[in-house]
Amino acid sequence: MQTTLKTFTKAALMSSLFLGFASIAIAKDITINVAVQSMGNAGSIETVEYSSTAARKFQNSVFEQLIALDLQDPNLASKPGLATEWKWIDDKTLEFKLRPNVKFHNGDTMTAEDVVFSFSDERFGLLPEQTTAREKGETTFTRADGSKGIVPPATVAASRASEWPLLDHVEAVNDLTVRFVMKKATLDTEARLARVNYAAIISKRGFMKTASWNAWAAKPIATGPYKVENIEPGSAIHMVANPDYWGGKPPIDKLNILVVPEAASRVNGLMSGEYDIISDVGPDQVPMIEGSSDFRVVGGPVANVRFIALDENNGPLKNVKVRQALSHAIDRQTIVKTLWGGRTAMSQGFQHPLFGDLFATDHQTSEYNPQLAKQLLAESGYKGEPITYRAHNNYYPNELTIAQYNLENLRAIGFNIEFSVIDNPNDPSPDRMMQDLSNTAYFAFPAALLANNCPNGTYNTKTNPKSGMWQNDEFDRLCDVLNKSTDRAEVKKAFTRALDIIENEDPGMIVLHQNAILYGKRSNIEWAPSAMFAMDFTPGHFAIKN
C-alpha cells in the first residue's frame, strides 16, 4: 500500500493510539509531491544539455560529482562527494581518491573508468564519427568495434570548450584513483568540479548501452539518492529512492516533481493537500500560506543574479547612451525592499559573495538616477523609437510584478517601451532588445557568472553571431585572464574591470537583484532549501514530524 504525506499523518496518529508508538507508519512508503513552476527542457534532465534554473532544482537528486557542495551552508562550502580526498601532485595535475563501493542506478559499481568516460569525447559527442553522424541528422554512430553509440546534440558538443577550456584529459591510475590533467595551471578547477552541470559522474556502461540520446537524457544513470522512474515531458518527473545509495537510505521512497506553471494553483494545491512542497512562492503569497499553522514558507536568496539583458544589435539599443540611460532608470532599492518585502538582497553588481577574496569589493553598478537617465537619453538623440521589453510569465519568482514596475519607471523617463510576455524572450529575432534573464554562480569563481558573455558564450556576438546579443573586445580579453591566470590579484582586477564595462561603460545588462526562491511546505515537514537552486532531499536533510 502506498502512503502519501496527506495520509501519513493519519496513519501515524492511529499507530500512536492503538500501538503505542508512531514509528510503524515510517516504515510505509513515503511519497512526496513537489510542485514547481517548470522542469526546463521538456524531455531532458541531462546536466550537459540543460542547465537552467528550473532543472537545477532536481538534477542534484539524480546526479553527483567528485566534489560536493554543502547545500546547508549559506556559503556553499565544498566537501567530499564521490571522491574522499584530492590533491595537486604537480601544477597541472589534480588527483582524486574515489569513494569505494558507490553504486550507479543500474547496480554497477563506480570506478575510475566511469569518471574518465564522464569527461570523454564520446560522452560530449566529440568523436569524429559522432560529428559526421550529427551532420547527417543521424542519432547513432558506429564505433570502431562495430557497436552502436548515441549522438549528443551540437549544444552538448560545444559545451566542453566553454565549460572546460583548460582540461587536457582525465586518466585512470587504478580503479579508485583518477587524475585530471590540465593544459596549464588554473585557479578554478576544483570549483568547476563541484558543480552538477558539466561535472556529474555517469555510468559508462549505461551511456554506451542506451539506444538514443533522448532515451538517455530522459532516464540517465548516475549515483544520486534518487533515480528516474519515468518522465512525462513538460509535466512531471517521477523518481524513486536509490536502494544502494552510498550515503544511506534516502528519506523519501517516491519523489514526484510536478510542473504547475500557475503560482496560485501551486498555493491552492499545497493548502488542499495535493502537494507537500511548492516552489517559487511570490512575496505576495506568503501571508496566505503562513496564515495557517499547518504551513510554512522557507527559503531566501540564492546564488543567482536577476538582470535585464540588452541586445546592442537591434533598434535604439545600438546607441550606447540609450543603454546607459536604461541602466540608470532601474530602482533596485524599491524592488528589493517593497516588491520583495526585504526577502532578498541588492546585488553589488553581477557577482556573488561565494567568490570570496575574488569578490570585486570596489565595484558598483549604475545607480538609480532618473535625471541622469533623462540627460543621457537626450544626448543619445533618441526620438521615441519603440524599444521592446520581453518577460516570461513568472518563470522567475515575482518576475511580472518587477517588470511592470520597471516599465512604469522607464516610460516616465521618456522611453517608448513595447512590453510583451512570451514563452521565449531570448528568441533572437530583430525586435529583441530587452529581456528578463538570470545567471547562476554555479561554481565559486567569477567566470561562472560571466561565461555567457565571454567568448564561446551564449550571448557573445563575435563567437555566437546567430543568437549573441553583446560583445566588447576589452571584455573578451579580460575573460581570457579570468580563465587562464593563476594570479589571484590579477584575476580580481580583471573581474572588477569586466563588471564596470558590461554594467556601466558599455552596458550589456542591467543588474536587478540577487534572486530568491521561497518554498511553501507543510509544517510537519522538516526541510530547509539550499542557497543554490538545488533542493536537498539527501539522508539527514528531510524528515516528517510525528
pLDDT tens-place string over residues 323-338:
999 999 999 999 999 9
Instruction: Give me the CATH number covering residue 145.
Output: 3.90.76.10
Residues spanned by the domain of 79: 63-220
Question: Do 476 and 376 belong to one domain?
Answer: yes
Indicate whether 427 belongs to any domain.
Answer: yes
Question: Do 310 and 162 belong to one domain?
Answer: no
The C-alpha cell of 504 is what?
556601466
CA atoms of 518 and 434, how far apart (whole Å)? 26
Indicate whether 293 belongs to any domain.
Answer: no
Cell numbers 537552467 label which residue? 52
Question: Do 364 and 509 belong to one domain?
Answer: yes
Indicate whether 257 belongs to any domain.
Answer: no
Indicate whether 543 belongs to any domain.
Answer: no
Question: Do 213 and 312 belong to one domain?
Answer: no
Number of domains forming the structure of the chain: 2
Dihedral Cα 343, 197, 361, 499, nearest 10 deg = -100
> What pLDDT score was predicted for residue 358?
96
Question: Do 352 and 499 belong to one domain?
Answer: yes
What does the angle CA 45 – CA 266 – CA 397 come to, to the nearest 5 degrees? 70
> What pLDDT score was predicted for residue 178?
98
What's the half-sphere exposure (Cβ side, CA atoms, 13 Å) at 200?
Answer: 28
> What pLDDT score was predicted for residue 456?
86
> What pLDDT score was predicted for residue 1?
33
Instruction: Give me the CATH number covering residue 396.
Output: 3.10.105.10
Residue ranges, the chain, pLDDT below 70: 1-27
Q: pTM above 0.85?
A: yes
Indicate whether 348 belongs to any domain.
Answer: yes
Question: Do 345 and 206 belong to one domain?
Answer: no
Instruction: Give the containing element (helix H, strand E) for 352.
Output: none
Question: Do 482 and 390 belong to one domain?
Answer: yes
> What pLDDT score was predicted for residue 8?
41
Domain boundary among 169, 186, 220: 220
Indicate whether 78 belongs to any domain.
Answer: yes
Indicate whether 411 belongs to any domain.
Answer: yes
Query: Percent of the chain scored above 90 by pLDDT?
Result: 82
Domain boundary among 172, 200, 220: 220
Question: Do 316 and 436 belong to one domain?
Answer: yes
Indicate whether 463 belongs to any domain.
Answer: yes
Q: CB of 321 within 8 A of CB of 375?
A: no
> What pLDDT score was predicted for residue 27?
54
Q: How many CB atoms lie within 10 A of CB 128?
A: 9
